[in-house]
Chain A
């Protein structure tokens, strides 16, 4: 078995807010192997993004992460920014839902792309530019040699996301973390970007973390899936297990409540009742209890941990341990 590229152990992320402390991520553990695609699924506020913000050292000032994050064997959690910069953007890159937040609107794409290469790889300007153009070409930007000299706002939304992916791939990273990269895009453009990611995975053997709320995207792209709810992992497994044999009631509910384009009209959609949990005010016991169809007495009293079902497969529900 190959060595994990990224190992996250017992990661907890807290935010200090005027109304008290909030645990956005609670005791999350997982790992990523070379070349695999991990889907991280959850709703807004489930902590899915904050896990990777912690990993990349990008937490906002009022956030604090504890636990352990290892890149191969080296501990990287809460590393000084100077040291972290040798890893982020080089061996681990992250792309975001809104590319404009990570592109400098005042600099040409060429400048923004070559900077990284000159800095980290010691390339000459000329060589760096050539590499940048190649990369833009690779992600499907027509006329890359000319367009590299344009400013970010001169690109459309889909093109900007391609530029972001090209930038993320410049230093040939081992892990690409994609945080809802297609949520702001139209479906036809989303399909293009997903195709691109599939190709990259094949060509570069890059491990991809796909953070998304869209189970359809996960179904098409991912090998393994981690489902988040209320800051905790509630179910993990490979993609087929999650979709065809889901164990956790939340996963099950989520799958049932997705409207599907391939199915004819049903009288009424299945809907998970209630509201997403308020992290400031989580109930004691299972966070999903108020919305769960299988809720029992013990769900309100103690919190289920992740119970292993099989190799690499776990669910945080008392149904796994029986009566």
Chain B
């Protein structure tokens, strides 16, 4: 009886190993089922999802206008003090003082890309960009000024 059990166990073990090997072989002879992406080579065709959170950007239109009022809602919403909004006072045509954006400082090196700033923005001035290739040689280059030089707030944005 012992020998019979011994042999049946070997047969069972061989079968289980064969089942696994057959599956591996199945994919070995069908290379089309492989889904590996050749990343740096497929950069031209690689498209990230629309909502992918890669970095915070401030879109400017053709006239170099943005929608940021300098309300600092994003700065308050940020959990790691990634954003610093520096404001200044501008004179309106009616000779009144009005708060306006001076510099929008964004520390990409401290950002966890949680998206709370974009969620908090009342005017839709900042968005999440899809760029994910952020590696640089010098950390200080990751501190960015998001409003372009000479840019102004769009008319009618309050």
Whether A and B are associated in the same complex: the answer reads: no
